[in-house]
């Protein structure tokens, strides 16, 4: 599940839009924004020219030349720029239009496209700088400095805004190029270069403007304090207005990827590991987005492994293994052991089809696993058609005997109702056992070894011949709480195989 979509979808469209629609949308939106930005830049040139040109502004000849040159040059520049940008963009994005997988070279070209298109804008404004400076030199020589300053400031503003607009419009294409990942070797311009550019616009350009105003005041006798104040105020208005716009756009381009990662991290903290951040930034921020996706993928894989591991060894053992180092060895504990073994399974299997046998075994094992889990026990192993469960290890359980007995009662009742085709003997024993990992360092399992396990196995065999098919050690009943003891009654003291002394046992009351 993707953490977020692109900002302002009504402009750039949703991430999964068709390639044809994406091409048209990118071309129309990008052209509109760039043309509008250049027209605003032309207006800035006019405004600054009137403020900086000494002698009360442009003379009639200079003003007439500007009235003709500016619209003509802006129109020609827009046509050339739009054509160049369109051709460059379509050539660089051909893979996206044709729904192809981008090569490494195409990916790099796509991520660096905003800088290439901005370079086109800058070159056009340099051409304007040359033309308008030449016009000023011919029509009003004292206005040369003002022309250089006006076109220079406007060019900086337009180029910076054009870059941010281009990067914004091309984000859906960048997302397709990156495809959920980012490679440092394929990144476009970094955040550092972007910050330096906007430092130049926000700091260097205003300071340069003040320097020009100061030079004009020093070198020109006709520059009054009043006019100097107008120059400074006009320059401040331009820089504040468009500097704010550039700063907002730049902040959004930096904050949006970080915000997406922050929201995704919050969802991961809430347990949602299926979240994915859409990688749509060709800078170090794209590496951040991609790094989060790799982290989330690793967490999903780890959770899948732990889930699979838990199915094999039990969730308690799996959790203990993931919480610390797993080593060979064990510890002596007092535990309760429950064993369940089918009655007449060999005969049943011989008279039924394999599919029927498997279906019965699945229902049989499901009942046992559900009840053991419900009473905080561990299904330690399946031994053919028998099951061994432990209560009190590896996780400590205060009333492990009561839990084992309650689980035995519920299993007997459910098997009688849900698996009536075949019976099962159930035995429970409580005592000391060694619980831990046994085997080899390359292959071991968690198990319990001791007299309590052996006794449970013997009681299970005897249980097949008693009413209810449940036979438990009296020691287990004694160790349980009063509420559980009420369900059991004594049933003699048989001598279990392998023992010399009789073992008091109980059955369901």
Domain span at residue 94 reads 18-289
In a domain, 88, yes or no: yes
In a domain, 48, yes or no: yes
In a domain, 300, yes or no: no
Q: Say which residues have a Cβ less than 8 Å from residue 162's Cβ, sequence separation at least 6.
A: 33, 34, 37, 38, 117, 118, 121
Choosing from 289, 307, 342, the residue where a domain stops is 289
HSE-up (13 A, CA, CB side) for residue 468: 18
pLDDT attached to residue 337: 96
Average pLDDT of the residues of the chain = 79
In a domain, 213, yes or no: yes
- Contact yes or no for 238/44 (Cβ under 8 A): yes
355 in the same domain as 285: no
364 in the same domain as 281: no
Number of folded domains in the chain?
2
pLDDT attached to residue 221: 61
pLDDT tens per residue, range 483-509: 999 999 999 999 998 888 999 999 998
Q: Say which residues have a Cβ less than 8 Å from residue 469's Cβ, sequence separation at least 6.
A: 343, 412, 423, 424, 425, 426, 463
60 in the same domain as 161: yes
pLDDT tens per residue, range 91-105: 777 777 777 777 777
348 in the same domain as 272: no
332 in the same domain as 220: no
237 in the same domain as 382: no
284 in the same domain as 335: no
In a domain, 6, yes or no: no
259 in the same domain as 206: yes
275 in the same domain as 397: no
333 in the same domain as 268: no
Would the pLDDT of 254 be above 60?
Answer: yes
Would the pLDDT of 448 be above 60?
Answer: yes
Indicate which CATH number applies to the domain containing 394. Answer: 3.30.70.1230
Choosing from 228, 261, 289, the residue where a domain stops is 289
Give the whole-angstrom CA distance, residue 325 versus residue 334.
23
Would the pLDDT of 271 be above 80?
Answer: yes
Per-residue pLDDT, averaged over 185-191, amounts to 56
Per-residue pLDDT, averaged over 191-196, amounts to 70
pLDDT attached to residue 326: 45
Per-residue pLDDT, averaged over 432-460, amounts to 82
SS in 3 state form for 366-426? HHHHHHHHHCCCEEEEEECCEEEEEECCCCCCCCHHHHHHHHHHHHHHHHHHHCCCCCEEE
- Residue spans of beta strands (DSSP E) within 57-191: none
209 in the same domain as 91: yes
In a domain, 228, yes or no: yes
In a domain, 8, yes or no: no
Per-residue pLDDT, averaged over 316-320, amounts to 57
Choosing from 289, 310, 342, the residue where a domain stops is 289
In a domain, 255, yes or no: yes
226 in the same domain as 98: yes
């Amino acid at each position: 599940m993707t953490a977020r979509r692109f900002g302002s979808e009504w402009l750039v469209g949703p991430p999964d839009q068709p390639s044809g629609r994406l091409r048209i949308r990118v071309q129309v939106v990008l052209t509109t924004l760039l043309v509008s930005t250049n027209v605003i830049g032309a207006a800035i040139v006019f405004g600054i020219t009137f403020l900086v040109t000494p002698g009360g502004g442009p003379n009639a000849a200079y003003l007439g030349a500007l009235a003709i040159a500016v619209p003509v040059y802006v129109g020609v520049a827009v046509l050339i720029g739009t054509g160049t940008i369109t051709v460059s963009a379509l050539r660089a994005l051909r893979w996206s239009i044709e729904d192809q997988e981008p090569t490494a070279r195409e990916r790099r070209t796509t991520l660096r496209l905003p800088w290439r298109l901005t370079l086109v804008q800058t070159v056009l404004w340099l051409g304007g700088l040359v033309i308008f400076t030449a016009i000023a030199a011919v029509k009003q020589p004292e206005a040369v400095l003002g022309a250089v300053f006006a076109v220079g400031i406007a060019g900086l503003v337009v180029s910076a805004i054009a870059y941010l607009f281009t990067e914004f419009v091309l984000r859906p294409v960048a997302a397709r190029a990156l495809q959920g990942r980012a490679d440092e070797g394929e990144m476009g311009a970094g955040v550092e270069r972007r910050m330096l550019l906007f430092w130049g616009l926000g700091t260097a350009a205003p300071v340069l403007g003040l320097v020009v105003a100061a030079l004009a005041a020093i070198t020109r006798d006709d520059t009054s304090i009043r006019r100097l104040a107008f120059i400074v105020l006009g320059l401040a208005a331009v820089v504040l207005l468009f500097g704010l716009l550039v700063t907002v756009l730049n902040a959004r381009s930096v904050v949006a990827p970080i915000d997406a990662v922050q929201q995704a991290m919050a969802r991961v903290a809430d347990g949602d590991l299926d979240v994915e951040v859409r990688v749509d930034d060709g800078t170090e921020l794209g590496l951040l987005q991609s790094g989060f996706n790799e982290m989330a993928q690793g967490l999903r894989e780890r959770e899948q492994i732990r889930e699979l591991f838990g199915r094999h060894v039990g969730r308690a053992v799996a959790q203990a293994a993931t919480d610390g180092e797993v080593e060979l060895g064990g510890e002596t504990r007092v535990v309760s052991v429950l064993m369940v073994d089918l009655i007449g399974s060999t005969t049943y299997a011989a008279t039924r089809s394999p599919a029927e046998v498997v279906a019965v075994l699945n229902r049989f094992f499901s009942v046992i696993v559900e009840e053991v889990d419900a009473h905080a026990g561990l299904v330690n192993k399946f031994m053919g058609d028998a099951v061994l469960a432990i209560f009190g290890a590896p996780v400590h359980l205060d009333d492990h005997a009561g839990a084992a007995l309650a689980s035995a009662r519920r299993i007997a009742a459910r098997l009688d109702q849900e698996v009536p085709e075949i019976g099962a003997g159930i035995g429970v024993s409580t005592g000391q056992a060694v619980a831990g990992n046994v085997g080899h360092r390359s292959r071991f399992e968690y198990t319990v070894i001791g007299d309590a396990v052996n006794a449970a196995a013997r009681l299970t065999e005897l249980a097949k011949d008693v009413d209810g098919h449940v036979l438990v050690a009296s020691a287990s009943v004694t160790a349980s709480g009063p509420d559980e003891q009420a369900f059991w009654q004594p049933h003699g003291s048989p001598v279990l195989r392998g023992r010399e002394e009789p073992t008091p046992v109980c059955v369901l009351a």
